[in-house]
Amino acid sequence: MKNYQEIFEKSLAHPEEFWAEAATSIDWYKKWDSVLDSSNPPFYNWFQGGEMNTCYNAVDRHVEQGRGEQIAIIYDSPVTDTVRKISWAELRDQVAKLAGALKAQGAEKGDTIIIYMPMIPEALVAMLACARLGVIHSVVFGGFAANELAIRIDHAQPKMIICASGAIEGKKQLAYKPLVAAAIEQSEHKPEKTIVFQRDFLEAELNQPGDLHWQELVKDAEPADCVPVAATDPLYILYTSGTTGMPKGVMRDNGGHAVALHWSMKNIYNMEPGEVFWAASDVGWVVGHSYIVYGPLLYGCTTVVYEGKPIGTPDAGAFWRVISEHKVKALFTAPTAFRAIKKEDPEGEYLKKYDLSNYKTLFLAGERLDPDTYHWARKLLNVPVIDHWWQTETGWAIVANPMGIEQFPIKPGSATKSVPGYDVKILDSEGNELGPGKESNIVIKLPLPPGTLATLWRNEERFVSSYMSRYPGYYETGDGGYIDDDGYVFVMGRIDDVINIAGHRLSTGAMEEIVASHSQVAECSVIGLDDSLKGQKPLGLVVLKAGVNCEPERLNQELIAMVRNGIGPIACYRETVIVSRLPKTRSGKILRGTMRAIAAGKAYRMPSTIDDPTSLEEISTALQKVGYPLK
């Protein structure tokens, strides 16, 4: 076994040497001039001057190395009763054909394309086809409403949109094309083309100018070759929730991303090429980008594309069936999925039906892994249960138990140790570094390793102000926590207005903007409450306009519909409480953090700047009425 401490120390003391060595695992058209360009902090460029192509590394080279007949993708879709296996050679041909079709429609290196697709292999084909041409893709999660898609269209300014005619969500059929049309109608920027993959169960009407039929388009398309791009050129933009209604467009480069993800597959996930890796997430999230698509494919692992849920498709044994049928070695999902399975099948009866002898490790991330869920999963599966912490911004794990390097004893509640490349520290609000056991802001000393966000798309100012300004020389993660005497990192939760619902990252600020726009609402605050299934859920505290006398349940139903239309069903907004005022500082700032602490039953200090201390009593009573803090 390799030695973690040695590797970790080398990665921080000699990052250029460390990552240059890792970069030899990637095929380059042109070697880099410098491993790390630090001339313009806090912007850092990895592999400056290098040229490569991510699609070539993830697809073509496996075929060229004689592995064309091996399986690249297993598509398992209980909702359409389909299992389909795609070899590397087939994947290469499909990607090259779609890339050829996109090229024929005018897509070129540096353009952007939005992808709005469910969990079908064509979503991966679309992403890889973009990467093949040096086109920057931006995948939008299917659970977002037309309004959220429109915001992203206006910001990313895509030349084209690629979508599917529809999706099946559990038992519901959803039509995607009308939603895309509504988003284009709302947006100021108008994409030139919309390419629609028609699914068997739902034919979309192609009735708008620029609508194109995917299957027709690729039939006679000339396959396109991989286009060399600079290591520092953008591969994708992925929008993620910040504290306002305007999401942040995390920009990922090509070279550093490929190097880091390739490195992570062995060192963190302990995979070998040819083995089966399954991230039960969605291509619309960062986990999907990194570990359904790029990580496994770059490393030569088979990836599982699962179009289903942990429960209800058809039962709480769905995950065990997929693991057993496809000989999955490692499953990566969110703790919520396990809480859902536990609720339906607490004794694990379904597991008894399946042979899981190839299955070695469970990786969990996306939200805090509560010790109860950890212990339940550990006992049930009898494999290591590895919590690891990361964010859309970093693109891969910051803290983990590095299974391919050295396996540390697990401390439930901790994601274990800093991953090589990440110098994690705890700083107090004045910027002083805190010692073991002291909880405060988690930061990462710059430079961040390769594969992390290069900047925010078309918004360098926000990149600096959101992450780099508060603690110069450090990246501010937005999470709070502590490091213990043994170097184990405990991530306790967000310290900003971002919440995590069923492993989905959402902004309470975005919900507040919608709730505040209701004609009877004077002001509001949306806070995250603990939830036993989804980790967190939102609650709206609302002050009515003077003289308004409305029926609380009717207002609640109207706000539910507004948030659903404005953000999407995944926001899970269901509860509103009317109060006479919100607790504020004397300068008028709403005390969200204090309200969150009251709701969570945590000790809090009465802010010295509070305008009226009795306002907190009203909030506390209102929260108690709806059952918070949880007993």
Q: Does 248 bind ligand AMP (CB under 6 A)?
A: no
| Distance from C-alpha of 71 to C-alpha of 190, rounded to nearest angstrom | 38
* Whether the bond into 234 is cis, omega within 30 of 0: no
Q: Does 415 bind ligand AMP (CB under 6 A)?
A: yes
Between 111 and 387, name the residue whose CB sits nearer to ligand AMP: 387
Q: Does 377 bind ligand COA (CB under 6 A)?
A: no
Contact in structure between 196 and 211 (CB atoms under 8 Å): yes
For residue 532, CA distances in Å to 254, 309, 310, 336, 591 come to 39, 18, 16, 9, 25
Q: Does 496 bind ligand AMP (CB under 6 A)?
A: no
Which of 169, 530, 531, 618 touches ligand COA by CB under 6 A? Answer: 169
Contact in structure between 170 and 312 (CB atoms under 8 Å): yes
- Got the DSSP string for 450-516? TTS--EETT-HHHHIIIIISSSTTEEEEEEEEEE-TTS-EEEEEESSSEEEETTEEEEHHHHHHHHH
- Quote the least distance from Cβ 381 to ligand COA, whole Å: 17
Q: Does 511 bind ligand COA (CB under 6 A)?
A: no
Between 288 and 300, name the residue whose CB sits nearer to ligand AMP: 288
The interface with ligand COA within residues 255-284 (CB under 6 A) comprises 280-282
Which of 94, 187, 391, 466 touches ligand AMP by CB under 6 A? Answer: 391
Contact in structure between 315 and 349 (CB atoms under 8 Å): no
Q: Write the binding mask 131 to 160 for ligand COA: x where contact by CB under 6 A, - elsewhere.
A: -----------xx-----------------
Q: Given phi > 0 = left and psi -120 to 50 = alpha, else beta, which region is 572?
A: left
Which of 388, 518, 584, 592 touches ligand AMP by CB under 6 A? Answer: 388
Selected range binding ligand COA among 46-54, 539-547, 553-561, 569-577, rule: CB under 6 A: 569-577
Selected range binding ligand AMP among 192-200, 367-375, 419-427, 514-522, rule: CB under 6 A: 367-375
- Residue-level length of the chain: 631
Q: For 53-90, b where at least 16 C-beta lie within 10 A, e where not — what string?
A: bbbbbbbbbbbeeebbebbbbbbbbbbeeeeeebbbbb
Tell me the two tokens of residue 143. 């659970």
| Distance from C-alpha of 591 to C-alpha of 551, rounded to nearest angstrom | 27
Which of 503, 509, 538, 540 touches ligand COA by CB under 6 A? Answer: 503
Between 245 and 284, name the residue whose CB sits nearer to ligand COA: 284
Q: Does 340 bind ligand COA (CB under 6 A)?
A: yes
The site partner of 148 among ligand COA, ligand AMP, none (C-beta below 5 to 8 Å per kind) is: none
Which of 149, 328, 502, 555 touches ligand COA by CB under 6 A? Answer: 502
Q: Does 491 bind ligand AMP (CB under 6 A)?
A: yes
Which of 56, 332, 350, 389 touches ligand AMP by CB under 6 A? Answer: 389
Q: Given phi > 0 = left and psi -120 to 50 = alpha, else beta, which region is 505?
A: beta
Return residues touching ligand AMP (CB under 6 A): 240, 286, 365-369, 387-392, 415, 478-479, 491, 494, 500, 505
